[in-house]
């Protein structure tokens, strides 16, 4: 038994040493440094959006002890990801793995470099689910929850498998009190978009909205208490083109109820840009349905 534990201990230490070559320190906020992961050898770094509080004078601490400056390429607050670019050209990219290789109960390591050396905590995959939408409206390819302890400065650092591959980026900001890792597929999509556009495209309707209470009869029929009244509509916007009118009350988009402003904002995510969706609304006391092609902003 002792030899089995010693072997496991040595293997985990090897994972930390190997993965540590791709983990950097990110100095982009006033007090505590955070962590980041090398995406490509030409200096692209992935980290958490919420740890990048300034967009200039960003410093990156490398695994060899050196420090290089970095600039912000772009960020996506809805998935809590940010991309930095350094002038270093000989970095060690992380070895990424899809979440399909994980199962509930698998051992994982949360790694970080808030100081000069790599730190680690051990845990298990505690929950895996399908794709989900963050409270900020970001589309995550798969729900990945662990029981690892997120020490200060670990955000932006990787979640490593027992085989030494990186399955995601740890975040303490997406769901408060829950250790969530953003999976590889989501990271790749965000990186590609930010490198191409500098920001994440968002869906766009071109309307000004205000929550309003629905009449009692409509509340019972729709099983919801409120909707979103269109206070203004931009000319030549997707809403205008679809025939929506000022005074209409939106009650659902693609069968998702609309009661608060955040409900619509969360549904106008990048994956819906360019798609045609069904919108239910109240006009003159009657429920009507329209097809609207979401624009891109």
* Triad 231, 233, 239: Cα angle to 5°: 120
**Contact by Cβ (8 Å): 163, 194:** no
**Contact by Cβ (8 Å): 60, 27:** yes
Question: Is 56 in the active site?
Answer: no
Question: Is 197 in the active site?
Answer: no
Beta-ladder partners of 36: 24, 47
Question: Is 42 in the active site?
Answer: no
Of 22, 48, 155, 172, which residue is the catalytic one? 155
Of 48, 63, 80, 141, which residue is the catalytic one? 80
Of 22, 33, 49, 50, which residue is the catalytic one? 50
Q: What does the block give as tokens for 261?
A: 């402003």
How far is 83 from 46, CA to CA, in rounded Å?
A: 5
Burial (0-12, 13-18, 19+ Cβ within 10 Å), 249: buried
Burial (0-12, 13-18, 19+ Cβ within 10 Å), 289: exposed
Q: Which residues are catalytically annotated?
A: 50, 80, 155
């Amino acid at each position: 038994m002792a030899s089995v534990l010693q072997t496991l201990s040595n293997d985990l230490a090897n994972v930390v040493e190997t993965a540590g070559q791709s983990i950097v320190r990110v100095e982009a906020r006033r007090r505590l440094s955070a962590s980041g992961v090398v995406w490509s050898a030409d200096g692209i770094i992935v980290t958490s959006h919420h740890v990048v509080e300034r967009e200039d004078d960003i410093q990156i601490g490398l695994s060899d002890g050196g420090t290089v400056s970095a600039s912000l390429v772009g960020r996506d607050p809805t998935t809590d990801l940010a991309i930095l670019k350094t002038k270093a050209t000989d970095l060690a990219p992380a070895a990424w793995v899809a979440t399909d290789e994980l199962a509930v109960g698998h051992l994982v390591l949360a790694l970080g470099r808030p100081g000069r050396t790599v730190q680690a905590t051990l845990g298990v995959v505690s929950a895996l689910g399908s794709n989900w939408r963050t409270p900020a409206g970001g589309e995550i390819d798969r729900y990945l929850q662990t029981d690892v302890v997120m020490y200060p400065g670990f955000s932006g650092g990787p979640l490593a498998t027992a085989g030494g591959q990186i399955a995601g980026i740890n975040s303490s900001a997406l769901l408060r009190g829950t250790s969530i890792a953003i999976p590889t597929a989501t990271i790749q999509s965000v990186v590609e978009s930010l490198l191409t556009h500098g920001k994440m495209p968002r869906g766009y309707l071109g309307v000004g909205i205000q929550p309003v209470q629905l009449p009692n009869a409509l509340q019972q029929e729709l099983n919801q208490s409120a909707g979103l009244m269109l206070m203004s509509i931009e000319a030549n916007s997707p809403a205008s083109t679809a025939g929506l009118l000022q005074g209409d009350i939106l009650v659902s988009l693609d069968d998702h109820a609309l009661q608060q402003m955040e409900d619509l904002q969360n549904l106008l995510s990048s994956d819906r840009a360019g798609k045609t969706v069904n919108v239910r609304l109240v006009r003159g006391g009657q429920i009507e349905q329209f097809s609207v092609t979401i624009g891109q902003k």
